Amino acid sequence: MADKKAQLIIEGAAPVELPILTGTVGPEVIDVRTLTASGRFTFDPGFMSTASCESKITYIDGDKGILLHRGYPIEQLAEKSDYLETCYLLLNGELPNAEQKAQFVSTVKNHTMVHEQLKTFFNGFRRDAHPMAIMCGVVGALSAFYHDSLDIKNPQHREISAIRLIAKMPTLAAMVYKYSMGQPMMYPRNDLSYAENFLHMMFNTPCEIKPISPVLARAMDRIFILHADHEQNASTSTVRLAGSSGANPFACIAAGIAALWGPAHGGANEAVLSMLDEIGDVSNIDKYIAKAKDKDDPFKLMGFGHRVYKNFDPRATVMKQTCDEVLAELGIKNDPQLELAMRLDEIARNDPYFKERNLYPNVDFYSGIILKAIGIPTSMFTVIFALARTVGWISHWKEMLSSPYKIGRPRQLYTGETQRDVKDLETR
Ligand code: SDX
């Protein structure tokens, strides 16, 4: 892949020649792995210009608003595929045929239950604990239950851990919700699809088992697809870094959940609803747009902007279509928060500040409105994101471990004190 070279001309030093690597599509990269020989590091806080790895899983073109999973556009997967097919694709590189799909679905179904002992972990949390706090705890605790599959160098162990995580996340997420409600936790059912099962475990009780709306199940499944993977985002990079030390997959996913929780990342869907509540009414939009533009005001328009997309986020487009379908199915007309969100979207898109900075609605802008309409509380929104993103995290973890890798260990630009001696206490 190295067919061109870059030459670094450094004043007073010999030039440094660096290979340029070319991928199948997207920007070339300058391979700086030999740069340390010149006694220098690259400097790139926030990794704005850094490719941390080579990957075949997801490609994003931020300028064109393109998102491909193993080459398939997200819009086509959302329309023609389902979440478990997308999981198979991300994990294995190809969409399953009918036989492969049946086998994969059956395997996942047979791993949806969690060890009964895991229920006792919940009792250590307050009922009003943030669901993401509990998810970090219980997902990390899974490594205490699977001593039979923690050898990350064993491909079979990697495979069964991936299946267990994909299968158990809906069960754990629903358990977190039931715990917060003080309701009995529901067991998964093997006669339901992945999304139906999740909604069953969330909203049914032992007293009454209601059928799951196929429209809501389809919408839930589509939301899972839209959140499945997104290249080297902050939480995926966290999972890769944790995995590079040889940590077990459950601990790595727990690290990803922690990173996702932040409002600048996966926590934005919850923050969008809080923001819409704070804005309250269309008449206040101008005031909040001004706050978002004010450098001295920490307020940002949550659900807007993206490190990579400098055009529309293709997931936001599909999410908005799904939002319309769900509200129609539920007979919700003129949802005040949707009205407010659409007006905010329209005003921001026409405001020079947002246009100049290419700030468009991202995946989180409309997702919260759908989740709330389905009956999922705001505090559970990022848990849904983590549930869906688990396949992306574990696919990147598997990809990294399947070929030679090194422990991630960045360096720094040191601007602290040079060496000095400790003075005795009396003389300080
Ligand atoms: C996700 O990486 C991924 O792929 C993430 C994700 C995934 O699927 O994994 O797509 C999921 O995390 C989506 C993003 C969700 N976060 C939000 O919606 C929070 C609001 N957005 C911002 O915090 C921000 O846009 C980020 C964090 C998403 C991106 O920040 P960057 O790339 O570091 O850009 P920046 O902060 O340098 O902003 C550039 C300019 C700045 O102004 P200037 O200094 O040029 O004058 O745009 C401004 C920022 O102040 N800006 C915003 C803004 N986002 C950026 N101003 C107001 N409101 C905003 N939302």
- CB of 307 sitting under 6 A from ligand 1: yes
- Placement of tokens 């909040």 in the chain: 288
Our answer to whether residue 265 is catalytic in this structure is yes
Instruction: Classify residue 171 by burial, with Cβ atoms within 10 Å: 0-12, 13-18, 19+.
Output: buried
Mean pLDDT of the chain: 95
Distance separating alpha carbons of residues 149 and 248, to the nearest angstrom: 9
Between the CA atoms of 346, 351, 354 and 355, what dihedral angle is there, to the nearest 10 degrees? 90
Task: Provide the whole-model pTM.
Answer: 0.94
Q: Among 77-81, 148-152, 235-239, 282-286, which is the least confidently predicted range?
A: 148-152
Over 80: is that where the pLDDT of 2 sits?
A: no
- Placement of tokens 């006694």 in the chain: 39
Confidence class for position 1, pLDDT limits 50, 70, 90? low
Distance separating alpha carbons of residues 219 and 227, to the nearest angstrom: 12
Cα of 27 from ligand 1 centre, angstroms: 21
pLDDT of 153 reads: 93
Interval 210-259: pLDDT, tens? 999 999 999 999 999 999 999 999 999 999 999 999 999 999 999 999 99
Cα of 359 from ligand 1 centre, angstroms: 8
Cα of 271 from ligand 1 centre, angstroms: 13
For range 115-132, the mean pLDDT: 96
Distance separating alpha carbons of residues 254 and 249, to the nearest angstrom: 9
Residue nearest to atom 15 of ligand 1 (CA): 265
- CB of 303 sitting under 6 A from ligand 1: yes
